[in-house]
Structure 1
Amino acid sequence: MGMISEFKEFIARGNVVDLAVGVVIGAAFGKIVTALVDGIVMPAIGYFSGGVNVSDWKHVLKPAQLDAAGKEVAAEVAIKYGSFLQTAIDFVLIAFVIFLFLKAYNRLRKPAADAPAAVPEDVLLLREIRDSLKK
């Protein structure tokens, strides 16, 4: 079997196509949740924190050096924990929304509870024999 035919067989499998569709839908879903976080959640957090953008939060270790004309000579050295916090909040919210989506999806997918399976005739016959031997 040639390499091209093996590759065709590999691509034709359902798993590869399903994975590709999942990645594309996941990327689009990630954009939706990111828009939710950036447009609704983070402005609300900024409002309650005094109008400060969370991404701008930082701890300055060494301020920027300016010359006499006010031009920056050396950039500031800062720990930008706000961008980390923003990314962590994005992750938690994306994970929560995906959890809710999968929970609803699984609820719709779950089949209705079926009636208990009927006992096979041979088992019924064996039970009758057992009961008659006990007498």
Structure 2
Amino acid sequence: MRGFKQFMTRGNLVELGVAVIIGTAFAAVVKAFTDILLDIVGKVGGQPDFSRVSVAGLSLGPFLSALFAFVLTGFVLYFFVVLPFNKLTAAREEKEPAVAASTEELLTEIRDLLRDRSLPPPQDGGPT
């Protein structure tokens, strides 16, 4: 029982649960926006309903409707979520200054340079 309690209270599991809930809510927002775009497409070019399409007796309509909704959803996600997020991330990275070396790293580098300068060159060209 203790192992189950540890499993359930791990941080990753809680984060995953929160991500699933937020993802589900976000999916509803994306679906609503996609429905708006489908309505616009329907008003401009006729209702985008492929349910009656069939080829050689095979009903391809539901597949084509799902494919159209998938492509439109991907389009919405890419242009309204991914691109703005990438631009925001790039702008944030540009604003962050380069991290300066610590005092310890600088002193180690100076010590190594001084040691290399103070060593006499080998006389016979080989190891001694």
TM bucket by the smaller chain?
0.5 to 0.7
Q: Partner residue of 1:79?
A: 60
Number of aligned residue pairs: 116
Which blocks of at least 5 consecutive residues in structure 2 are unaligned?
122-128
Task: State the shift of 1:112 in Å.
Answer: 1.4
Q: Partner residue of 1:29?
A: 26
* Alignment match of 1:93 (pick from 63, 75, 83): 75
Matches within 5 A, 1:1-135: 4-39=1-36, 41-49=37-45, 52-56=46-50, 58-60=52-54, 78-80=59-61, 81-93=63-75, 95-96=77-78, 97-100=80-83, 102-103=85-86, 106-107=89-90, 110=93, 112-118=96-102, 119-133=105-119
- Give 1 or 2: higher strand fraction: 1
- In structure 1, distance between residues paired with 2:97 and 2:110: 24
What whole-Å deviation, never above 9, does each CA across 1:34-85 have from its counterpart, x for those lacking one?
100101x112222332xx22134532469xxxxxxxxxxxxx9743054123
Where 1:6 maps in the other structure, the secondary structure is: helix
Task: State the shift of 1:88 in Å.
Answer: 2.0
Q: Percent identity?
A: 22
**Kept after mapping to 2: 8 A contact 1:42/1:54:** yes
Question: What is the root-mean-square deviation in Å for CA atoms of aligned residues?
Answer: 3.3
**Kept after mapping to 2: 8 A contact 1:61/1:77:** yes
- Give 1 or 2: higher helix fraction: 2
Q: What is the identity, as a one-letter code, of the residue corresponding to 1:54?
A: P
- In structure 2, distance between residues paired with 1:122 and 1:79: 70
Which blocks of at least 5 consecutive residues in structure 1 are unaligned?
63-75
**Kept after mapping to 1: 8 A contact 2:50/2:65:** yes
Q: TM-score scaled by structure 1?
A: 0.64
- Of structures 1 and 2, the one with the larger relative CO (CA 8 A, separation 6+) is 1
Q: TM-score scaled by structure 2?
A: 0.67
Q: Partner residue of 1:71?
A: none
**Kept after mapping to 2: 8 A contact 1:59/1:79:** yes
